[in-house]
């Protein structure tokens, strides 16, 4: 009888295993010589390209590029490298950023009473699959405290029942600022963010909607799906915007159902879609794979 | 070198290969003793059950049952068998039907200029995969004549440009009646049926909509999907009703897309969904696997 | 701004919400009058059928039936009901069982160092989605203790390094007996069960194999898949038998990959398949939806 | 009542609609400055990049790149452009090719008695979805003649029964040479190619295997799948090599099945996988999206 061995990524030392890369994300008007100049710049600095993705939106003439570069290969610090790139960037009128794969983002999780997405993300984080820090969990109900406690993460219950929503959301913003949060994830947070907060968190807040948008926007999507008699249900991870359920879509998942599934079965089956769509969407975001272009996304998955 | 052998169903003699069955479809209020009585009836007539499916709609208290019975096992003709069943049926206030799997339905195909669904259905029929007769193809454009000619099926071009729609649709109805059509399939027929014709064909006309309904109902669904930036597109096979794109859904298919797909790519990828959804939906219908219940379907797939 | 409300099944009081049912599972030679007699028996005892599924294996002539009956509708205790059924059962030479949906099975989880399946099952159990008791977690490594502690479940580390395997597996069997375990789940347990233990647990032990069996049986399936260059990977939930990776398959899941995925990416993507396949398989088993027939399964999903 | 309008690609004038592009495919050792040099070359010749894809195989250090360039943007003929590129290519030890999207490849279809893949490819070609010429259909049985006749394509029946296989395959090779065939597609051709012919057609012959390889290689895969009791079946499009069913995989498709599906149902359901996998695989090949690397493929889909 022999012992099976397996890959094992259950470790908080993921960083040590992960090759350090710099990620250069570019968004600019499509122009001749663009790729050549960027590539020339990278070659001049000895940058080994681990992954490269391009996309041109033919309708808008906008160009998007993502490079993942072996950090060790570059003969400069990230700061100096960024400084040096500024000239290329300005020449081509780029919106751009350079990020370090070893630099953990701070991700705040917002929840209500449903635990499936929360638990899923926490486990992926804890097991080293999702590379980030989770400085706090904020909820409008107290039940999720147990998950926060297990994972030893500060939990903040913002009581929406005993105060007006404006005050409640101001408290949330305070917490996000206090913890210097980079990304806010609405992991089945069942309160609609006010416009001012959507604006504040633009491009940095992800939601999971429990339907295959644009079908069944709004409340009780599983009941809507049941009532309509669709044969597949789904979930949608999108950026939060002022227009409820209309934000740029990052990822969607679907699952087959039948007449024999009750509305409660849809809820159960849909949860697996929600978990996967949100986890994929967040991972793409954390790895700088998503570029928002107007009300859509480019996802270099 | 050895010769591979394979299953081969490319034959018009499918009927000879297909075991003859009677299909007993029941739709009635759920009641105690229902299944016992039906089963007792079947046993009394020596009926061997090939396939049995039940469903109770818990909300409406409606019961649905489909039996597929080996015809050779029954000691009566189908007519006598049906007569005998009438007593059970009336006792339980059933809507019911008994059909013969060897009795081919007459399926009319309605088309416009797109050939993919038409060709797909014609091939499935010709190769013996889809068990039915196709007495005619009707179109509002002349291009599909070549497909009709190849398969030696009468082709009728109803010119919608040179007459008003009412007259055009009356011509279509005349043809459906002349050919004694049982099932009308809108295989990417790009004209909206008038209410009176929807009513006439109720429960016997299937449409394929090129979106994952209820998303992107109406015109140009692929363009709508492209503009919204969804990450999956689909197709929906549903019964035709007066409420456009709102009929009971039989089958849906989806396919993954990305930012790099143009609207034309969506059209191309979506075609495979359309073909499969329509072919599955039609097969379910022809095999008496679909029961319409209010605005939804029970599909004993 | 309005509050969204949603279905919420995060509760340990699932039992109270779940309608109590009796499940009657029958496996016998196909015979005339079988369904009539069972249905007659049910009707005589006023049994309301919530769900009914039939299957006849045409090759072996074996018949399988599962009824889920509203417990409240029956005018007898489950014991008396079972007693009464014995006569029908013996008349038709049935293998059968009658179970109570409110009777929780005791499920032991066996693990090694990978936490994803373990955490997934624990959360589904804790949130009330998976209806069972989990009396113990047994592992051949100590790392999973933290999960056991969080969920307040006894954890037993059986050290395979410091003793021979025979002794180690005897310890495991002792624990299974001590906790009166009904179902043993190998949630990425990386030790191969000896024949005597497979025999002992026949039909009551589920494994998750991290490949789309029969592809890539044996060790390191993700590396095998990477080396072969397949375009989809998967996971398989099956019953444990003496023939490694050859047991009856209950459920399989797949996910698309590409040339750009490393072997480590396959591991990460495959985990989602493993979790879903194992959770589905276990739920089917706990709900008495799986009947083993020779080396295959009938799954009334 | 309004007329729906839709995208319509049913046209043989697809070429006129298709933007002409040059495709530059590169396969070489990964080296610093590679992308910069290629991009610099493209910029110097005013080449507008429509699509660009890169991949580095980390294990072998091999680099793969595909550029699709707007032909109109280039200030040289394709020949001069290729000549000019030769210097860059030699500097980096590249295997490379430059192709013209408007240059139709000649695709020979090999068939036996099954028509589904054949009909599917012919329709995609005829409707303008698959951009190629089909100069001939070759079969070891006469039945497919009707499809060839419909589409007005020369049909050659090579009788394998009345001669030895060596002679039969020599006839096939003669035909491939006579028609100056670029790509040979085994569209359910049920004869195993001899080694010498595999060698001759290396990298230019595609097969569709009716299983999810490496599961169920060899004969009667659907029967094998049925006997094993898998819960998903599939199809695999791969390059033909001397090692039967072991060639580099281009594309795979799967579909869910259940215990209630007979072996004949698997055949029917599997056909849809076969058609899609083969059509996708062939399209990728014709668009120069596939690079063979050892016994695997890079597919820039």
Yes or no, beta carbons of C36 and B33 under 8 Å apart: no
Residues B56-70 have pLDDT tens digits of 998 999 999 999 999
Q: How far is D91 from chain B (nearest CA, A)?
A: 32
Residues B164-211 have pLDDT tens digits of 999 999 999 999 999 999 999 999 999 999 999 999 999 999 999 999
Biggest alpha carbon–alpha carbon distance for chain A: 65
pLDDT band, very low/low/confident/very high, at C75 (cuts 50, 70, 90) = confident
- In a shared domain, residues D31 and D180: no
- In a shared domain, residues B151 and B262: yes
CATH number for the domain including B169?
A: 3.40.50.170
**Which residues of D are less than 8 Å from A256 in CB distance?**
256
Q: How far is C301 from chain D (nearest CA, A)?
A: 9
Please count the structural domains in chain D.
2
CATH number for the domain including B61?
A: 3.30.70.260
d(CA A294, CA A279): 23
DSSP assignments along A104-115, one per residue: PPEEEEEE-S--
Of D70, D100, D130, the residue at which a domain comes to its end is: D100
Burial of D201 from C-beta contacts in 10 A (0-12 / 13-18 / 19+): buried
Q: Is A245 a catalytic residue?
A: yes
Yes or no, beta carbons of C298 and D55 under 8 Å apart: no
What is residue D18's predicted lDDT score, i.e. its pLDDT?
77
pLDDT band, very low/low/confident/very high, at C1 (cuts 50, 70, 90) = very low
DSSP assignments along C256-273, one per residue: E--TT--HHHHHHHHHHH
Arithmetic mean of pLDDT, A126-149: 97
**Which residues of B are less than 8 Å from D260 in CB distance?**
51
Residues B34-49 have pLDDT tens digits of 999 999 999 999 999 9
Q: How far is C225 from chain A (nearest CA, A)?
A: 13
Burial of C269 from C-beta contacts in 10 A (0-12 / 13-18 / 19+): middle
D298 has a chain C CB within 8 A of its CB: yes
CB atoms within 10 A of CB C274: 25
Of D100, D129, D151, the residue at which a domain comes to its end is: D100
Return phi, psi of residue D160, to 5°: -80, -15
Residue C151 has pLDDT above 90, yes or no: yes
Yes or no, beta carbons of B251 and A259 under 8 Å apart: no
Helix H or strand E segment including B272: helix B263-286
Could you tell me if residue C169 is inside a domain?
A: yes
What is residue B17's predicted lDDT score, i.e. its pLDDT?
59
Could you tell me if residue A8 is inside a domain?
A: no
Beta bridge partners of A51: A68
- In a shared domain, residues A160 and A203: yes
- In a shared domain, residues B58 and B193: no
- In a shared domain, residues B256 and B199: yes
Residue A47 has pLDDT above 80, yes or no: yes
**Which residues of C are less than 8 Å from D250 in CB distance?**
231
- Distant-in-sequence contacts of B139-148, Cβ < 8 A, 24+ apart: B139/B110, B139/B111, B139/B112, B139/B189, B140/B112, B140/B168, B140/B189, B140/B190, B140/B191, B141/B111, B141/B112, B141/B113, B143/B113, B143/B115, B143/D10, B144/B111, B144/B112, B144/B113, B144/B115, B144/B118, B147/B115, B147/B118, B147/B119, B147/B122
- In a shared domain, residues A43 and A114: no
From the list C238, C243, C240, C241, the residue with the least C-alpha distance to C278 is C238
- In a shared domain, residues B92 and B147: no
Q: Looking at chain D, which runs of residues are DSSP E strands?
A: 21-29, 49-57, 62-70, 95-100, 106-111, 133-139, 155-157, 183-186, 205-209, 232-239, 249-256, 290-293, 296-299
Contact assessment for residue A109 and residue A187, using Cβ atoms and an 8 Å cutoff: yes
Rg of chain B over Cα atoms, rounded to whole angstroms, equals 21
Mean pLDDT (chain B, rounded): 93
- For chain D, the 3-state helix, strand and coil shares in percent, each to the nearest 5, are 35, 25, 40
Residue A13 has pLDDT above 70, yes or no: no
d(CA D268, CA B130): 10
Q: For chain D, which ranges sit under pLDDT 50?
A: 1-16
C29 has a chain B CB within 8 A of its CB: no
Arithmetic mean of pLDDT, B92-116: 98
What is residue B242's predicted lDDT score, i.e. its pLDDT?
95
Could you tell me if residue C1 is inside a domain?
A: no
- In a shared domain, residues D61 and D114: no
Helix H or strand E segment including C111: strand C106-111
Q: How far is B252 from chain A (nearest CA, A)?
A: 6
Residues B208-226 have pLDDT tens digits of 999 999 999 999 999 999 9
From the list D131, D111, D92, the residue with the least C-alpha distance to D189 is D111
Residues C10-26 have pLDDT tens digits of 333 444 557 899 999 99
Query: Which of D62, D233, D259, D300 is the best residue to mutate to test the C interface, defined by the most C CB atoms within 10 Å of its own CB?
Result: D259
Yes or no, beta carbons of B190 and D5 under 8 Å apart: yes
**Which residues of D are less than 8 Å from B165 in CB distance?**
1
Could you tell me if residue B239 is inside a domain?
A: yes
- In a shared domain, residues B40 and B59: yes
Return phi, psi of residue A160, to 5°: -80, -15
What is residue C205's predicted lDDT score, i.e. its pLDDT?
98
**Which residues of D are less than 8 Å from A49 in CB distance?**
35, 54, 56
Could you tell me if residue D223 is inside a domain?
A: yes
Could you tell me if residue C290 is inside a domain?
A: yes
DSSP assignments along A147-213, one per residue: HHHHTT--EEE--SSSS-HHHHHHHHHHHHHHTT-SEEEESS--SPPPHHHHHHTTTTEEEEESSST
pLDDT band, very low/low/confident/very high, at A8 (cuts 50, 70, 90) = very low
Could you tell me if residue C8 is inside a domain?
A: no
**Which chain B residue shows the shortest CA-CA distance from A57?**
B260
Residues C184-235 have pLDDT tens digits of 999 999 999 999 999 999 999 999 999 999 999 999 999 999 999 999 999 9
Task: Show which subunits contact D, needing at least 3 CB pairs below 8 angstroms.
Answer: A, B, C
What is residue B1's predicted lDDT score, i.e. its pLDDT?
26
- In a shared domain, residues B67 and B91: yes
Range of the domain at B28: 19-100
- In a shared domain, residues B78 and B138: no
Residue with the bigger pLDDT between C244 and A258: it is A258
Could you tell me if residue C45 is inside a domain?
A: yes
Of D51, D66, D100, the residue at which a domain comes to its end is: D100
What is residue B9's predicted lDDT score, i.e. its pLDDT?
37
* Helix intervals (H) in C12-144: 14-17, 34-44, 78-91, 116-126
What is residue B6's predicted lDDT score, i.e. its pLDDT?
31
Yes or no, beta carbons of B51 and D219 under 8 Å apart: no
Residue B79 has pLDDT above 80, yes or no: yes
- In a shared domain, residues A134 and A245: yes
Residues B266-279 have pLDDT tens digits of 999 999 999 999 99
Arithmetic mean of pLDDT, B14-26: 81
From the list C175, A177, D25, D147, the residue with the least C-alpha distance to B151 is D147
């Amino acid at each position: 009888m022999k012992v099976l061995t397996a890959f094992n990524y259950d470790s908080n030392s993921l960083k040590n295993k992960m090759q350090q890369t710099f990620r250069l994300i570019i968004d600019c008007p499509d122009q001749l010589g663009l790729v050549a100049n960027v590539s020339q710049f990278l070659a001049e600095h000895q940058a080994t390209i681990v992954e490269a993705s391009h996309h041109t939106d033919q309708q808008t003439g906008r160009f998007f590029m993502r490079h993942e570069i072996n950090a060790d290969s570059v003969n400069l610090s990230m700061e100096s490298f960024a400084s040096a790139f500024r000239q290329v960037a300005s020449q081509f009128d780029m919106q751009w950023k350079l990020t370090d794969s070893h630099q953990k983002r701070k991700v705040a999780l917002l929840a209500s009473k449903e635990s499936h997405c929360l638990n899923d993300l926490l486990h992926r984080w804890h097991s080293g699959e999702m590379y980030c820090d989770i400085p706090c969990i904020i909820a409008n109900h107290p039940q999720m405290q147990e998950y926060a406690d297990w994972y030893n993460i500060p939990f903040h219950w913002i009581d929406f029942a005993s105060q007006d929503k404006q005050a409640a959301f101001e408290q949330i913003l305070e917490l996000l600022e206090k913890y210097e949060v980079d990304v806010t994830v609405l992991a089945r947070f069942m309160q609609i963010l006010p416009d001012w907060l959507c604006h504040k968190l633009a491009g940095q807040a992800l939601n999971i909607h429990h339907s295959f948008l644009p079908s069944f926007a709004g409340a009780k999507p599983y009941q809507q799906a049941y009532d309509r008699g669709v044969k597949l249900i789904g979930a949608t991870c999108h950026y939060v915007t002022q227009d409820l359920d209309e934000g740029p879509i990052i990822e969607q998942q679907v699952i087959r159902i039948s007449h024999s599934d009750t509305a409660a079965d849809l809820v159960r089956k849909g949860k697996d879609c929600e978990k996967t769509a949100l986890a994929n969407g967040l991972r793409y975001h954390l790895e700088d794979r998503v570029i928002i272009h107007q009300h859509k996304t480019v996802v270099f998955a």
